[in-house]
């Protein structure tokens, strides 16, 4: 039912699709990160701040999404890791759009963004690098749909993205336990995941479970002779019990294996 109304929503909002939206957000994040080299205060001027938004700096409602790196500062090592982060972000965008299409991918990002705006506006967590939570929401979706994709940590250790996804989720939950005010950003991050990704994942697992059950039933039926072509009327063995076992059909239609042929019956057909 949930997916039905979501599909209806997507069909009606097809015009909002922005192909490559996550790439654009990532590119703007790179600009802001590099801008800190010349002006270390740029992040503070565009990050989410409820009081300043109420005072007229409404651009912060949008620009906080451009600050995934927060106030880390521009360093050579940071720039190197940023390069790989951008490559991963582009990979995530292209991969999810291949699964969902631009409309659903755009809506997924917009729902995460809107949820973060509402959460931070209502609970006002103070200075917070909230832009990275949009990236986390996208990464969780990617880790679910492409769990076997491998990244090389420190350029050496291969790790499947499913484990990195679990790690990201665990860190978010742990941060909310330590600082409950962070629920205002953790919950909105998980809302689009719960709407679009989790139901499909649960249905997929249910389908796999049903298929496994059918295979098990087929195997049991095969072993019991339910699908056997030959069955001995005396010992009830079938061709599944012994590939070399031979059978004969009597004139009355009764079937016997060669080990239990009636000695006083008429010759078999």
pLDDT digits 0-9 by tens, 139-173: 999 999 999 999 887 667 889 999 999 999 999 99
Q: What is the mean pLDDT of residues 32-58?
A: 85
pLDDT at 211 over 60: no
pLDDT at 18 over 50: yes
What is the per-residue pLDDT for 268? Answer: 47
What is the per-residue pLDDT for 212? Answer: 52
Q: What is the mean pLDDT of residues 76-84?
A: 74
Q: pTM of this prediction? A: 0.71
Identify the residue with better confidence: 40 or 102: 102
Separation CA 147–CA 166 (nearest Å): 10
pLDDT at 216 over 60: no
Lowest mean pLDDT among 15-19, 83-87, 152-156, 222-226: 222-226
Identify the residue with better confidence: 247 or 57: 57
pLDDT at 197 over 60: yes
What is the per-residue pLDDT for 231? Answer: 81
Phi, psi of 255 (to 5 degrees): -110, 135
186-220 burial, b if ≥16 CB within 10 A, otherwise e? bebbbbbbebbbbeeeeeeeeeeeeeeeeeeeeee
pLDDT at 110 over 90: yes
For residue 115, give Cα distances in angstroms to 48, 55, 118, 188, 252. 13, 21, 5, 5, 76
What is the per-residue pLDDT for 162? Answer: 92
What is the per-residue pLDDT for 222? Answer: 53
Residue 262 half-sphere exposure, CB side, CA atoms within 13 Å? 13
Structure token digits, residue 38: 């010349």
What is the per-residue pLDDT for 23? Answer: 94
- Band of pLDDT at residue 213, cut at 50, 70 and 90: low
Which stretches of 129-259 are DSSP H helices?
A: 131-145, 161-178, 183-192, 198-224
Mean pLDDT over each residue of the chain, to the nearest integer:
81
């Amino acid at each position: 039912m949930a997916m039905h109304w979501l599909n209806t929503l997507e069909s009606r909002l097809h015009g909002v699709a922005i192909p490559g939206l996550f790439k654009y957000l990532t590119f703007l994040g790179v600009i802001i990160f590099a801008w800190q080299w010349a002006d270390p205060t740029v992040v503070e001027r565009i990050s989410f701040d409820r009081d300043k938004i109420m005072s007229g700096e409404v651009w912060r409602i949008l620009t906080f999404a451009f600050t995934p790196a927060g106030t880390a500062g521009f360093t050579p090592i940071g720039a190197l890791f940023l390069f790989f982060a951008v490559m991963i972000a582009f990979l995530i965008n292209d991969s999810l759009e291949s699964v969902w299409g631009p409309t659903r991918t755009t809506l997924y990002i917009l729902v995460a963004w809107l949820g973060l705006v509402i959460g931070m506006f209502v609970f006002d967590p103070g200075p917070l690098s909230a832009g990275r939570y949009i990236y986390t929401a996208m990464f969780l979706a990617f880790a679910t749909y492409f769990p076997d994709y491998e990244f090389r940590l420190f350029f050496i250790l291969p790790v499947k993205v499913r484990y990195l996804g679990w790690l990201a989720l665990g860190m978010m939950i742990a941060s909310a336990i330590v600082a409950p005010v962070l629920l205002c950003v953790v919950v909105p991050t998980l809302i689009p995941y719960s709407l679009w990704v989790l139901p499909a994942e649960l249905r997929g697992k249910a389908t796999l479970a049903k298929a496994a059950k059918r295979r098990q039933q087929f195997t049991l039926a095969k072993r019991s002779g339910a699908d056997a072509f030959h069955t001995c009327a005396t010992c009830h063995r079938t061709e599944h019990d012994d590939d070399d076992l031979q059978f004969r059909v009597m004139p009355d239609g009764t079937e016997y294996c060669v080990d239990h042929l009636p000695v006083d019956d008429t010759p078999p057909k």
